[in-house]
Chain A
């Protein structure tokens, strides 16, 4: 007598609502940001698929890790009776020396909260928006959105989403800006996937205090972001 395959009764590894949040078609204004790719391209640092791969690897290990760790912590924070959003906000500001990047992060966070609150109406999202009059930093908004979309395992999900977005956003910008071969670019993203998983795993360890979250930096991204803001000819907000 045939046995029922284990897979048919196993729970789905990811809830469908999380796929919505991961989908670049979710309207959150992300397509107008290049994650530093446009200024790097303008400086001649990224012209080819190979150079893009190096750029993404560096971004993942720095800005990607910080974003993933804060997203995971923010998702966990949603379960607390009184989330410490002001502390998280200050810690992210301290890790974001470039005013242009701060603005870009807040603009994307504000947009994501607007969309998430319409799609998954949750009090935690409104509370984060209310606590962030200038716009919540994007990793915090992403963590809260992951919690609103699917509370179970939200910190792990948020870490994976943030780490993944750290490379998929600039990769998409490179396809549009530099007309790189989209198939080759997705090949690069597939090669990076184990690294994305590794960064997400590292980011899942949520410390007691927001001050203990990772604080790796990428000075070139900071400098490029500032130079970019002064450029007259640019296609992306950041």
Chain B
């Protein structure tokens, strides 16, 4: 519990037996929920999954996932955030931790728990105490200056997804500018430009997530046992 204060912030100490926690954040309307649905559809055969959604004011996102039928209803829960979606994933992660742990204790061992944040601004990012990995989702229609503006979501996310590239010509967005601006501030961390609508199997993003799960499992097998019960890295 908080014993290892010097760990690499991008590689928090794994706690043996718990699932990889993947945060998915980004502004409103970028396609976070569509990406969550796509990942669930593609990964559910190979992994035990659960999802926690953080909607700003309704259970809209959880309802969308229920309707699309990508996961059994008991594998999806919704957290309300008291008008502060960024607070719930960063400053005070308690409600989300509670929901994640409820999934794990109710559904048994899981491989992956996805926490989808409510749509928020560019300064929002997931606490290391909540997410082991995070994806930040932008879309071209939000403006091609967004990656240049930076902010913790764009610069620090383990994967940046630029979605809706099929709309780029219609909204006058320069995709090359977006990806090169993103590369410039991300110090080598990956950027994937795609259209989840046109490629609903999200092959590149799914393989990235598979690689993270593999890394997580390998680290648990290697040294996780002695950390059993240490829980989240506070």
Contacts and interface: CB of A to CB of B under 8 A. Distances in A.
Which of A25, A29, A176, A177 has the largest count of B CB atoms less than 10 A from its CB? Answer: A29
Interface in A204-238: 232-237
Nearest to B101: A114
20 contacts: A25-B91, A25-B92, A27-B92, A27-B93, A31-B81, A31-B84, A31-B87, A110-B98, A111-B95, A118-B1, A121-B1, A232-B58, A233-B58, A234-B57, A234-B80, A235-B56, A235-B81, A235-B82, A236-B80, A237-B95
Contact of B94 (A114, A173, A236): A114
Given A25-B91, A235-B82, A118 B234 contact: yes
Which of B58, B80, B87 has the largest count of A CB atoms less than 10 A from its CB? Answer: B80
Nearest to A32: B82
A98 B232 CA distance: 33
Given A110-B98, A111-B95, A237-B95, A118 B84 contact: no
Contacts of B98: 29, 107, 110-111, 114
A33 interface: yes
Contacts of B80: 32, 234-237
A65 B57 CA distance: 31
Contacts, number: 66
Interface string A19-31: 0000001011111
Nearest to A236: B82
Interface residues of B, number: 22
B2 interface: yes
Nearest to A179: B83
Contacts of A176: 82-84
Given A30-B92, A111-B94, A236-B82, 8 more contacts: A25-B91, A29-B95, A31-B87, A32-B80, A33-B82, A114-B98, A177-B83, A234-B57
Contact of A29 (B1, B56, B94): B94
B92 A28 contact: yes
Contacts of A173: 82-83
A62 interface: no
A32 B99 CA distance: 13
Contacts of A34: 82
Given A33-B82, A236-B82, A114 B97 contact: yes
B79 interface: yes
Contacts of B57: 233-235
Contacts of A48: none
B1 to A, nearest CB: 6
Which of A34, A173, A235 has the largest count of B CB atoms less than 10 A from its CB? Answer: A235
B88 interface: yes
A233 B57 CA distance: 6
Contacts of A30: 92
A32 B58 contact: no
A39 B180 CA distance: 48
Contacts of B95: 29, 32, 107, 111, 237
A111 B82 CA distance: 16
A29 to B, nearest CB: 3
A31 B58 contact: no
A65 to B, nearest CB: 25
Which of B1, B59, B81, B95 has the largest count of A CB atoms less than 10 A from its CB? Answer: B95
B47 to A, nearest CB: 27
Contacts of B79: 32
Contacts of A33: 82
B211 to A, nearest CB: 31
Contacts of A132: none
Interface in B94-108: 94-95, 97-98
A34 B57 CA distance: 13
A52 B91 CA distance: 27
B100 to A, nearest CB: 12
Nearest to A110: B98
Nearest to A29: B94
Contact of A27 (B59, B81, B91): B91
A168 interface: no
Interface string A98-120: 00000000010011001100100
Nearest to B79: A32
Nearest to B55: A235
Nearest to A238: B80
